[in-house]
Chain A
Amino acid sequence: MPEVTIDWYVALSVILFSIGALGVLLRRNAIILFMSIEMMLNAANLAFVAFARHLGDLDGQVLVFFVITVAAAEVAVGLVLIVTIFRTKKSINIDEIHLMKG
């Protein structure tokens, strides 16, 4: 059984980040876009914790708390915006929400 090294964690976080980024670029539902963004943030959190463990340094774990807090604030604002737009448009598909062009 191979030993789980830092590389595994970093690889996993890169995979999660890429899935999130692809989700943002390919999906069209605002809520799913939003979940993909959260996944990218959590990929960064995983990287922070893994590096902190690898470096024997606590800073990385503290940074995770900041990222989680900011993500929570973003969720609050983001969901409000999505709910408001759903009330007027009855849709959260971002392809159907395009009034402005140029």
Chain B
Amino acid sequence: MEFQVPSLNLLIVLPVLIVTGWGMLLMLAEFFIPEEKKSWAPWLTMLGLVLALIQTIGLWGYNGGTFTPKGGAPMVVVDNFATFLNIIFLLTGILTVLISIHYLRRTGLDRPEYYMLLLFSVSGMMLMGMANDLILVFLALELLSIPLYILSGFAWPRPDSEESAMKYFLLGAFSSSIFVFGIALTYGSTGTTSLPLVLERISDAGMLGLVATAMLIVGFAFKVAAAPFHMWTPDVYEGAPTTVTAFMSVGAKVGGFAAMLRVFVAALPQLGEAWVPAVAGVATLTLIVGNVVAIVQPNIKRMLAYSSIAHAGYIMIAVAASVNSPDGVSAALFYMLAYLFTNLGAFAVVIALEHKQGEGVMLDDYKGLGKRRPWLALAMAYFMLSLTGVPPTGGFSGKFYVFRAAIEADLLWLAIVGVITSVISGYYYLRVVYLMYMYDGEGEVVANRALVWTVGLTALATLVLGLLPGPWFDMARDAALQTVQMVAGG
């Protein structure tokens, strides 16, 4: 029997290899680094992420795939869509390391495993955007999630962290089993799990294909925390260490959307008539639930959890619009880029106020921040404006492109829902600003240099995306167009 080695192009998966390999190397190196030099772990992690980022930026404009089985389509593809998302994931990783260093030390969680798990999770996220085969989507989803289950329970034996980890784990595993069953049904109805081949055959799949699509939607909706599958989010976000919350509110969500866009827009556009109304419905519900329930939250982590649910709704508007509008995918990509900076920036401020673990996270702790820490308060106010969607912020540009794509795709009602819920969201975001400037209060603020840098950089990036969104949106547009061409061409 002849055995053929499939053609490999390792160069294009090099960023993922660097991140995973770096994680493993750090695991080994941990044995040899003396105790007093353990504080190197975050900086070594950062080095690995920066190397991968440089390599990823070098792949901009590259189009290709690898791990091609005989007579099939590549399982891993690198196009601008994947590269754009990989840049988002690596930036998320780098910023998370920056906000983690001091936080972990003062909360007594400074164990090197934290950074390794972070690296593994980032590699899973990167594969989510590159996966061109449903089974690889599943593997990437698990590679993303399993380290996150452990990370959310990282503050054990604190009961709320343990509870958060268990809830996340049980619901995450539940949703992945629904997702796998969806893959099984897709396989049964089309005879393949490769996305380009699914694209060719799904129109003949009939009922089974529709059921499979529905299960895939449920699986993704759990991952991105869309209503009515969002029940785990507030508890998990509140209980997990705040740095982990920051990481998963951006990374896990964008990872879910990465695979969702590739699967639904590139492989299942023929079923658009069936899934666009479903996704639009989920988006509406998500926007209403997220924005309305956020109003009554006294805890800022919980408020930001509901806010992240709401933002999943805005990105889902773009997903629903992407079948009929050429700008849907690029609007989603741009929105996620803006969301990355805004949300991580807001979380960096939350971490600065959380002087002890679990303390200083109530909204009342923000009273008087404008007097105590004028610059930090200004940045927080700016992030809150960006999350609301007030110009000139990245959040405004993102919402503008999303709503424009929705109108182009004849989903005017969905854009109207989005605008109305944005107005509602102003109530709870601006309340933070109000508390910071209109009251007096005291409380410790721990702002070390890495944290201040993170806040400054994210605020600057949000400002740039707000003032000059054009070039970045063009980049997102390059990224989006190529996906569709790439997959359609096999």
Task: Closest B residue to A67 by CB, please name it.
Answer: B180
| Given A10-B188, A47-B185, A48-B187, CB of A81 within 8 Å of CB of B157 | no
Instruction: Write the nearest CB–CB distance from B319 to chain A, whole angstroms.
Output: 25
Give the CA-CA distance A92 to B162 in the complex, in Å: 12
Task: Closest A residue to B296 by CB, please name it.
Answer: A102
Task: Closest A residue to B156 by CB, please name it.
Answer: A84
What would 21 A/B residue contacts be, using CB atoms closer than 8 Å?
A13-B184, A17-B181, A21-B178, A40-B174, A40-B178, A41-B180, A44-B177, A47-B185, A59-B192, A60-B187, A74-B142, A74-B176, A78-B170, A81-B166, A85-B159, A85-B166, A88-B156, A89-B162, A94-B166, A99-B159, A100-B163
Chain A binding site: helix, strand, loop or mixed by DSSP? helix
Task: Closest A residue to B158 by CB, please name it.
Answer: A88
| Given A40-B178, A84-B157, A99-B159, CB of A30 within 8 Å of CB of B146 | no
Q: Of residues 135 to 181 in B, which have CB atoms within 8 Å of A's CB atoms?
A: 135, 138-139, 142, 146, 149-150, 153, 156-157, 159-160, 162-167, 169-170, 173-174, 176-178, 180-181
Stretch in B233-241, B329-337, B347-355, B467-475 touching the partner: B233-241
Q: Which 8 A-B pairs have the closest CB atoms?
A: A40-B177, A47-B184, A51-B188, A44-B180, A44-B181, A44-B184, A85-B162, A37-B173
Judge whether B183 is part of the interface by a CB distance below 8 angstroms. yes
Judge whether B302 is part of the interface by a CB distance below 8 angstroms. yes
Instruction: Write the nearest CB–CB distance from A98 to chain B, whole angstroms.
Output: 7
Q: Of residues 19 to 66 in A, which have CB atoms within 8 Å of B's CB atoms?
A: 20-21, 24, 30, 33-34, 37, 40-41, 43-45, 47-48, 50-51, 54-55, 57, 59-60, 63, 66
Judge whether B55 is part of the interface by a CB distance below 8 angstroms. no
Instruction: Write the nearest CB–CB distance from A23 to chain B, whole angstroms.
Output: 10
Give the CA-CA distance A39 to B155 in the complex, in Å: 30
Judge whether A70 is part of the interface by a CB distance below 8 angstroms. yes
* B181 A37 Cβ-Cβ under 8 A: no
Q: Which residues of A contact B142 (CB under 8 A)?
A: 70, 73-74
Give the CA-CA distance A59 to B73 in the complex, in Å: 14
Q: Which of A10, A57, A74, A88 has the most CB atoms of chain B within a 10 A radius of its CB?
A: A74
